[in-house]
């Protein structure tokens, strides 16, 4: 039996590596260099198009934990990163060319991998037994149209409009109140009121803050969901009729309607993460931290995810995918990488390993292997396949998506190390013996 993998990025490369090492014949389809994307420069597999850093190596960070889990799963991307490592403090940074060359040469020289340099325009053209779609955030227009026909146009998105997410334990809850507008919908939102003076200070900082420039190929998506700073530039009081509108809200401390209100919404059932509603932004990451910490109650905010707006093709995974990353309506088709809604290099690669493990099990008539939620990979997969999610936006690794620890630990670094210890123990006990 053969497996087709569409896309030679990090997820596709990881999946090909895992399956090939298990003796599975893989056809890996990559359209580059015959047809290039607006962001790629070479035809290499696993080419990094943004930063050359895969994030922290420290086990006290979510990124470090994720990479350690991947290493235990024999990750090709971690092997390549170590081979192409360049010093960068606690970060795992790489020489881009050496990194992608290592991945390309490794897969080109594997007897079970057949690399086909062609664009897949229609999924129905493929004859392999199982198909893995790992085409990435810059999926071609032809393949996107094929995906629309497969899953439905309403379940395919072409840009991220992501608001920041903060850890609940970094919010000063004494400075706000729970409630929905006009008392409708229960206490779904936590409201942070602002006086006129606080609003004006925030407004001035927002409109003068540094932005990340839009790339040429992203400009068509700009008006689809305006950054909060762009709304602000259209008038001093525009935000008061948009994301910061106070209508329908009464501050119980004053008995009056606030001048402005920032609303936070729970991002998960446990309430460990909160989304800043309507705060999608193109501000640089340092500027987001500086400006958003001017909001009363967020002075000491720690961010699990920062906001962004950028070109990214992804599917509504909670509605479409099973827990093994197969398509609900056609379970011989799997998805992996950023197209599933995982955000980040390591996250994309990890989802490729996860999908490949379950493809191999399917080929051998075995039940799917669902990773425990205590592992970072398991928590990510659970997040993107959670059917109860009302609104779906991409997510990267962070400790807020893990189940809370049983014990209460005040020291944040120690607490995160405990999360990592629990995750690695669970992976070794519940995953490694079965792959």
pLDDT tens digit string along 382-424? 999 999 887 888 999 999 999 999 999 999 999 999 999 999 9
CB 311 within 8 A of CB 221: yes
β-pairing, 330-335 vs 130-133, is parallel
At CA 323, angle to CA 279 and CA 435, rounded to 5?
120
pLDDT at residue 160, as a whole number:
67
| Average pLDDT of the residues in 102-110 | 98
Counting DSSP H helices and E strands in the chain, the numbers are 12, 17
Output the six-digit token pair for 287. Answer: 């500027």
CB 162 within 8 A of CB 33: no
Which stretch of DSSP H or E encloses residue 265? strand 260-266
Secondary-structure class of domain 165-306 per CATH: mainly beta
Find the radius of gyration of the CA atoms of the chain.
22
pLDDT tens digit string along 34-81? 999 988 889 999 999 878 899 999 999 999 999 999 999 999 999 999
Domain ranges in the chain are 2-161+311-434, 165-306
- Look over the chain and give the mean of its residue pLDDT values, rounded to a whole number: 93
| Average pLDDT of the residues in 278-285 | 94
Under the banding of pLDDT at 50, 70 and 90, the label for residue 118 is very high
| Average pLDDT of the residues in 225-243 | 92
Q: In the CATH hierarchy, which fold is given to the domain comprising 2-161+311-434? A: FAD/NAD(P)-binding domain (3.50.50)
């Amino acid at each position: 039996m053969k497996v087709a993998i569409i896309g030679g990025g990090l997820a596709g490369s990881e999946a090909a590596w895992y399956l090939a090492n298990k003796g599975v014949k893989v056809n890996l389809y990559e359209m580059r260099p015959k047809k290039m994307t607006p962001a790629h420069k070479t035809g290499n597999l696993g080419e990094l198009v943004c930063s050359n850093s895969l994030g922290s190596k420290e086990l006290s960070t979510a990124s470090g934990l994720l990479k350690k889990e991947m290493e235990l799963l024999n990750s090709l991307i971690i092997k390549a990163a170590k081979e192409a490592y360049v010093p960068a403090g606690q970060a795992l940074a790489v020489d881009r060319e050496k990194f992608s060359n290592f991945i390309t040469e490794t897969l080109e020289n594997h007897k079970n991998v057949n690399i086909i340099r062609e664009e897949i325009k229609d999924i129905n053209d493929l004859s392999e037994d199982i198909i893995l779609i790992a085409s990435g955030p810059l999926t071609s227009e032809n393949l996107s149209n094929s995906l629309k026909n497969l899953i439905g146009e309403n379940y395919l998105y072409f840009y991220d409009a992501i608001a920041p997410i903060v850890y609940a334990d970094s919010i000063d809850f004494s400075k706000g109140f729970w409630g929905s507008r006009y008392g409708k919908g229960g206490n779904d939102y936590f409201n942070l009121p602002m006086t006129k003076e606080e609003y004006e200070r925030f407004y001035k900082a927002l409109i003068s803050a540094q932005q990340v420039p839009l790339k040429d190929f992203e400009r068509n998506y700009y008006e689809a969901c305006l950054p909060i700073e762009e709304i602000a530039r259209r008038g001093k009081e525009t935000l008061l009729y948009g994301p910061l509108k106070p209508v329908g809200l009464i501050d119980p401390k004053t008995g009056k309607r606030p001048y402005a209100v920032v609303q936070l919404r729970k991002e998960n059932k446990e309430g460990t993460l909160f989304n800043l509603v309507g705060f999608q932004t193109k501000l640089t990451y340092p500027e987001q931290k500086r400006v958003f910490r001017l909001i009363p109650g967020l002075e000491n905010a720690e961010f699990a995810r920062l906001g962004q707006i950028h070109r990214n093709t992804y599917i509504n995974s909670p509605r479409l995918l099973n827990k093994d990353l197969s398509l609900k309506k056609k379970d011989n088709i799997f998805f992996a990488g950023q197209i599933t809604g995982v955000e980040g290099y390591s996250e994309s690669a990890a989802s490729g390993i996860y999908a490949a493990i379950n493809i191999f099990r399917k080929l051998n008539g075995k039940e799917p292997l669902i990773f425990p939620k205590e592992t970072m990979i398991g928590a990510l997969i659970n997040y993107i396949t959670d059917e109860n999610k009302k609104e779906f936006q991409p997510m990267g690794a962070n400790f807020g998506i893990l189940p809370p620890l049983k014990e209460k630990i005040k020291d944040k670094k120690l607490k995160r190390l405990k999360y990592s210890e629990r995750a690695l123990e669970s992976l070794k006990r519940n995953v490694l013996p079965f792959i």
